[in-house]
């Protein structure tokens, strides 16, 4: 498939051929769901913790004798039925992360890219940088391309000056082409892909060395 390459001013300059198997494939909703669920689970901290009756700071002495007081029998102040006692089945620190099959993750990424192309929410822009490193220059450039309030910028590599200009923009996510996140891509209102990043994505996912069909 051919896509238009835009200048930083938003003008069409030329066309770029991209593989249909990456940017025009059938969308797999199941793969997208599992990829996003996996990312959210891997980001969970899992530090919630409660004390069971074995960890409550009370002694083991019986509060009162078993019979003759007129009160209900009780064996320990640590009992969950007492105020300040232990918690039954409360959360404990745990690891929520799990590994997603590699092919499913790749299918999800290609499905999201194809979905964005179909909905015309993906644009390819010629490579650029922000020489000044200033946020206001970055905002001016992006607003010349789109007025969306949730934007993902996919770059070809790690440009520290560009990243510095973009890091304080709350409605922008800055991703490298080889470190994509399904959650950010799927929920973006507009995905801006640099030309060299689009070529790298096509080569990687279309079966050239480092990728697979």
* pLDDT computed for residue 207 by the predictor: 67
- The number of distinct structural domains making up the chain is 2
Sorting pLDDT into bands at 50, 70 and 90, what band is 52?
very high
The overall average pLDDT reported for the chain is 92
Is 106 inside any structural domain?
yes
Contacts of 78 (CB under 8 A, 6+ apart): 53, 54, 56, 58, 60, 85, 86
Tens of pLDDT along 66-103?
Answer: 999 999 999 999 999 999 999 999 999 999 999 999 99
- Domain of residue 178, residue span: 2-44+99-205
Residues 61 and 38 in one domain: no
Is 212 inside any structural domain?
no
Residues 65 and 120 in one domain: no
Q: How large is the angle between the packed helices 102-118 and 29-43, nearest 10 degrees?
A: 120
Contact 187, 193 (CB under 8 A): no
CATH of the domain at 21: 3.40.1370.10
Residues 7 and 87 in one domain: no
Contact 62, 74 (CB under 8 A): yes
Helix (H, G, I), strand (E, B) or coil at 62: coil
* pLDDT computed for residue 213 by the predictor: 35
Contact 49, 93 (CB under 8 A): yes
Report whether pLDDT(212) > 50: no
Tens of pLDDT along 101-129?
Answer: 999 999 999 999 999 999 999 999 999 99
Residues 193 and 143 in one domain: yes
Q: Report the percentage of the chain scoring pLDDT > 90.
A: 86
Report whether pLDDT(211) > 70: no
Contact 80, 89 (CB under 8 A): no
Residues 183 and 146 in one domain: yes
């Amino acid at each position: 498939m051919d896509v238009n390459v835009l200048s930083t001013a938003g003008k069409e300059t030329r066309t770029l051929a991209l593989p249909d198997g990456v940017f025009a494939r059938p969308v797999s909703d199941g793969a997208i769901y599992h990829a996003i669920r996996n990312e959210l689970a891997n980001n969970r901290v899992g530090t919630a913790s409660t004390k069971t009756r074995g960890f409550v700071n009370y002694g083991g002495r019986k509060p009162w004798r078993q019979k003759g007081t007129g009160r209900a029998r009780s064996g320990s102040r640590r009992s969950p039925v007492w105020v300040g006692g232990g918690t039954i089945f409360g959360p404990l620190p745990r690891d929520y992360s799990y590994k997603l099959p590699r092919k499913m993750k790749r299918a999800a990424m290609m499905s999201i890219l194809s979905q964005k192309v179909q909905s015309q929410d993906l644009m390819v822009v010629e490579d650029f940088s922000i020489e000044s490193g200033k946020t206001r220059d970055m905002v001016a450039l992006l607003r010349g391309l789109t007025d969306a309030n949730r934007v993902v910028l996919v770059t070809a590599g790690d440009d520290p000056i560009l990243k510095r200009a973009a890091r304080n923009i709350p409605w922008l996510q800055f991703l490298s082409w080889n470190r994509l996140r399904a959650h950010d891509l799927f929920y973006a209102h507009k995905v801006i892909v640099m030309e060299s990043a689009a070529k790298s994505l096509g080569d990687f996912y279309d079966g050239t060395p480092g990728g697979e069909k």
